[in-house]
A and B are shown apart, each in its own frame.
Chain A
């Protein structure tokens, strides 16, 4: 089960994750330091850690760091799991941004679940986009909170054109499916979370001038079109191949010399 989680999870995040398969003697809730060290080594802020023991079977620990220090961790127990490879015929193209759906008002009202939602978004969401192409919307990940359990479902989207402008959405179950129970957690203090969420004010001038860094060999003309300059080595005109003629052939002696 552990393996499936790793494989299917990493498949969804493929170009942006590293799987560490070695056995570690790490307990994130007892000592977070080795995790922090590993994260620093691979320059990642998010980590997913799986473990299995008698007390806490099928354990998945999801957490994130801020400035190399722990921000929050959630421990989740897997109750039922169906991986991506179990349900055949469907694959996802790499690097596709999923649609995230959160069902239930508990994700807004309960503080721990609100934090967990934030973490899930951080884990699955990729960069914000200003431009979208409909064919790039391929799958949905749903989180529903029922009886203190989080139901994670993944569906594939198919869109059918209805009328001139509208598209009708149809879903097929794809996997991974999981029922998760909440176990231990560490939530960031309000101050730290606020500090982590600070958005710097960026002046438009700074953006125009590339934050004071000089851009070499690129100019913009009056029509704002980009003009680049390419530097090349000087061309050796003597070696230039021109039209071959018998009369222009070099003498044998000089040819051998060269």
Chain B
């Protein structure tokens, strides 16, 4: 019996202790405070006891309020699952997170270049080039780029054939370097164009094409337009040319964009359609135009006949200008300053 009593006592004590612990750690509030355990924050929206906070017990009141709030936070933190790492107890936190403004705006993905867009539409995939390839002429492995590539190229192309359509005395090596440089320049231009497109900067069209060939009207117009704008004031103070109207830039046509062809069958069908269209083409008959043409011809014929008849009874041709009754007025044709005559004074 004595043992049982002792056990009972111990159990009671333990329960009491537990109760005390629960009492000391539990906090009751009218409105439960909002907890953000991941941010370690508590928002207590209960009304404050303002007269107490004005009086001398201000600090005590603040401390007790803060203690309650932190106690609630600690209690919620302890309710989360625990983890033991390196002999220390860690708590796995979860819950809502407080939304704070960012320091910098959300990064925007880089816009695709013209080629990347095309490749994506067409479904092209990048093929990995081998680092070096076997050359049958030199009988050795040659790197595709980089160290020893240029030397190998030099060794391989020590002589170059002059094609038939070129003057026999042209330096093909110089030609080769020239084309290479042009390629590099073109590449750079395309790169810059991509950069401009990504930053939404308007790039003027390449205005003046090579002058050796005969230019089309539209090309000439473009060139004139660009020349007009290419002043320091962007053409603001440029005087108008006599036929300025024609120089207005045309609006780009609203062409329907064609979908890139995906497979060979489709491409073949497309090309066949074009070919059939050409073969089966019939000349269109514009009736009003044809009728007008007919009328014009008839009229002109009649006029001719009339004139032939008139020519026989032709009278003296008189010019009204010389026989007008009015007196001639001076200074009508000339506008502006009177022209100085005589010696130039300096």
Contact = CB atoms under 8 A, between A and B. Distances in A.
The number of chain A residues touching the other chain, given as a range, is: 35 or more
A162 B42 CA distance: 22
A130 B67 CA distance: 23
Given A99-B42, A137-B74, A144 B48 contact: yes
Contacts of A45: 103-104
B106 A130 contact: no
B175 interface: no
A157 B70 contact: yes
A195 B98 CA distance: 16
Given A128-B38, A131-B91, A144-B48, A200 B106 contact: yes
Interface in B67-82: 67, 69-71, 73-75, 77-78
A29 interface: no
A198 B69 contact: no
Contacts of B40: 97-100, 125, 129, 132, 137
A193 B42 contact: no
B20 to A, nearest CB: 7
Interface stretch (B58-66, B126-134, B187-195, B334-342): B58-66
Interface in B1-56: 17-18, 20-22, 24-25, 37-48, 50, 53-54
A133 B86 CA distance: 12
A45 B75 CA distance: 34
Interface of B: 17-18, 20-22, 24-25, 37-48, 50, 53-54, 58-59, 62-63, 65-67, 69-71, 73-75, 77-78, 83, 88-94, 97-107
B20 A162 contact: yes
A163 interface: yes
B100 A197 contact: yes
B91 A134 contact: yes
Interface stretch (A104-112, A230-238, A243-251): A104-112
Q: SS class of chain B's interface: helix, strand, loop or mixed?
A: mixed
A170 B66 CA distance: 10
Given A131-B90, A133-B90, A173-B63, 5 more contacts: A64-B101, A128-B39, A144-B53, A163-B25, A197-B102
A147 interface: yes
Contact of B24 (A146, A153, A168): A168
B65 A103 contact: yes
A157 B54 CA distance: 25
Contact of A128 (B42, B45, B97): B97
Nearest to B99: A197
Contacts of A145: 48
A168 B39 contact: no
B24 A193 contact: no
B99 A199 contact: yes
Contact of B43 (A102, A130, A137): A102
B153 to A, nearest CB: 31
A133 B69 CA distance: 19
Interface in A127-171: 128-134, 137, 140, 142, 144-147, 151, 153, 155, 157, 159, 162-163, 165-171
Contacts of A133: 88-91
Contact of A132 (B21, B41, B54, B90): B90
Contacts of B73: 99
Contacts of A170: 67
Contacts of A165: 78
21 contacts: A45-B104, A64-B101, A66-B104, A100-B39, A101-B69, A102-B43, A107-B43, A122-B100, A125-B98, A130-B92, A132-B40, A133-B89, A134-B91, A144-B48, A144-B65, A151-B62, A169-B71, A171-B63, A173-B59, A196-B102, A199-B99
Contact of B21 (A65, A151, A163): A163
Nearest to B102: A196
Interface in A78-97: 97
A142 B62 contact: yes
Nearest to B41: A100
A230 B104 CA distance: 36
Interface string A162-192: 1101111111010000000000000010000
